[in-house]
Amino acid sequence: MADPDPASQSPASRTPQSKPALQLKSQKFREAREGDWRALNGALDRAERQGLGGFSIDELLNLPVLYRQAMSSLSMAMAISLDRNMVVYLQSLSARAYVYIYGPHSRLKDVPADFFGKAWPQSVRRLTTELWLAFAALMAGILIGWLLCAGDSSWYDVFVPASQADGRDLSASAQSLRETLGSGPKDTALSPFAVFLMTHNTQVSIMCFALGAIFGLPTLMLLIQNGISLGAMLWLFARKGLGFEFGAWLTIHGTTELFAIIIAGACGFHIGRRLMFPGEATRMASLSQAGRLTGTVMIGVALMLTVAGCLEGIGRQTITDSLVRIAVGAVMLVLWLAYFLMVGRKAKTDG
């Protein structure tokens, strides 16, 4: 009588024969790799107790290697259907390793210190070229606005529409213009023009940043346009003999506010530059990198605009002396420059 066809045997009849083979395969698989798993598990236990600060450079570099080996073992164990307990163990080990190697390690209370102490000033310094370009565009706009209005006063109504002027127009007297600078008895801490200025400059900053994705050209035009409006207003007050007073009023909040706009413009230029010239990376990867950098910077820009709004809305009401206003504005400028130039730099070590 012929032997029965193995294929015709039921699964139940084959299981006792396949189970020992599976156990042997799992045992050999484990013996070949268990040393690396134990090393990774020990490193993770140590990291949970003491953190990664006590690890040497070699130990830190070895962690990703052990993690990839564990992931490779997990993949193989699942592919050849090894022991379920082994698969569960490797899944847990790999998940723990991922958190410590690639996950965020900052505690919530450390996030502000890391942002203000490192991320923001360091990111701004990486935009040095774009900052100078944005500054030049704004200054060019101011010069254009002044010269065009000086040549033909009708340009003023084009550059500063009545809806934005809030009484600062060609027909205004020197006294009425002086009152708009915060020295009038009817002035309030947050006048309609102060609210408009805060809203307008916030919009300009956001647009300078967002429009950088169109190769930076709209950002350039927006900075020049904003400068033209400011130059036209400077011309008007100077024409009425109030150039110094207007400059003082502008300085108290403008050193912060205009600095924020320039930084936002630099962010837009950086996005446009990385889009046009991605280097060795793909355009999508280059744009992603630029977005992370400028996104960090723009969070700080929002803070600068808040500070500027307080200086414009409240500072000009409580500080009416022009020299004091200039002093406050100058101090703010020095503080911002010192912060961006000095904070977050690595200390040089001897040897």
Reported as a single tens digit per residue, the pLDDT across 322-344 is 898 899 999 999 999 999 999 88
Average pLDDT over residues 232-240: 90
Task: Answer yes or no: is 10 within a domain.
Answer: no
Task: Answer yes or no: is 201 within a domain.
Answer: yes
pLDDT of residue 103: 62
Same structural domain for residues 175 and 319? yes
| Separation of alpha carbons 248 and 87, rounded Å | 71
The confidence band for 235, taking pLDDT boundaries of 50, 70 and 90, is very high
| Separation of alpha carbons 229 and 312, rounded Å | 18
Between residues 205 and 272, the one the model is more confident about:
272
Same structural domain for residues 183 and 317? yes
Same structural domain for residues 155 and 215? yes
Same structural domain for residues 76 and 219? no
Kindly tell me if the per-residue pLDDT of 142 is higher than 90. Answer: yes
Same structural domain for residues 209 and 227? yes
One-letter amino acid for residue 22 of the chain: L
Task: Tell me how many domains the chain contains.
Answer: 2
Cβ pair 39, 66 in contact under 8 A = yes
Cβ pair 325, 245 in contact under 8 A = no
Q: Give the Cα-Cα-Cα angle 307, 297, 337 (nearest 5 degrees).
A: 60
Between residues 225 and 2, the one the model is more confident about:
225
Judged by average pLDDT, the poorest of 4-13, 215-224, 328-337, 339-348 is 4-13
| Separation of alpha carbons 235 and 246, rounded Å | 10
Last residue of a domain, one of 102, 133, 164: 102
Same structural domain for residues 201 and 279? yes
Q: What percent of the chain has pLDDT over 90?
A: 19
What confidence tens digit (pLDDT) does each residue in 66-77 have? Answer: 888 888 888 887
Cβ pair 63, 101 in contact under 8 A = yes
Kindly tell me if the per-residue pLDDT of 288 is higher than 70. Answer: yes
| Separation of alpha carbons 328 and 225, rounded Å | 27
Last residue of a domain, one of 34, 67, 102: 102
pLDDT of residue 124: 94
Same structural domain for residues 31 and 168? no
Same structural domain for residues 51 and 150? no
Between residues 279 and 137, the one the model is more confident about:
137
The confidence band for 211, taking pLDDT boundaries of 50, 70 and 90, is low
pLDDT of residue 125: 94
Last residue of a domain, one of 51, 69, 102: 102
Judged by average pLDDT, the poorest of 147-156, 164-173, 208-217, 235-244 is 208-217
Same structural domain for residues 80 and 118? no
| Separation of alpha carbons 47 and 51, rounded Å | 4
Task: Answer yes or no: is 276 within a domain.
Answer: yes
Same structural domain for residues 201 and 118? yes
Instruction: Give Dmax over CA atoms of the chain in angstroms.
Output: 123
Q: Which ranges constitute the DSSP H helices of the chain?
A: 11-50, 57-79, 84-102, 110-114, 120-125, 128-151, 155-159, 162-165, 174-178, 192-210, 217-239, 243-276, 283-310, 316-318, 322-342
Domain range holding 306?
112-342
The confidence band for 122, taking pLDDT boundaries of 50, 70 and 90, is very high
pTM beyond cutoff 0.85: no
Of 337, 157, 311, the C-alpha closest to 233 is: 157
Task: Answer yes or no: is 293 within a domain.
Answer: yes
Kindly tell me if the per-residue pLDDT of 1 is higher than 60. Answer: no
Produce one character per residue of 298-333: b if its CB has 16 or more CB atoms within 10 Å, e if not: bebbeebbeebbebbbebbbebbebeebbebbeebb
Report the chain's C-alpha Rg in angstroms.
Answer: 32
136 burial (CB, 10 Å; 0-12 / 13-18 / 19+) is middle
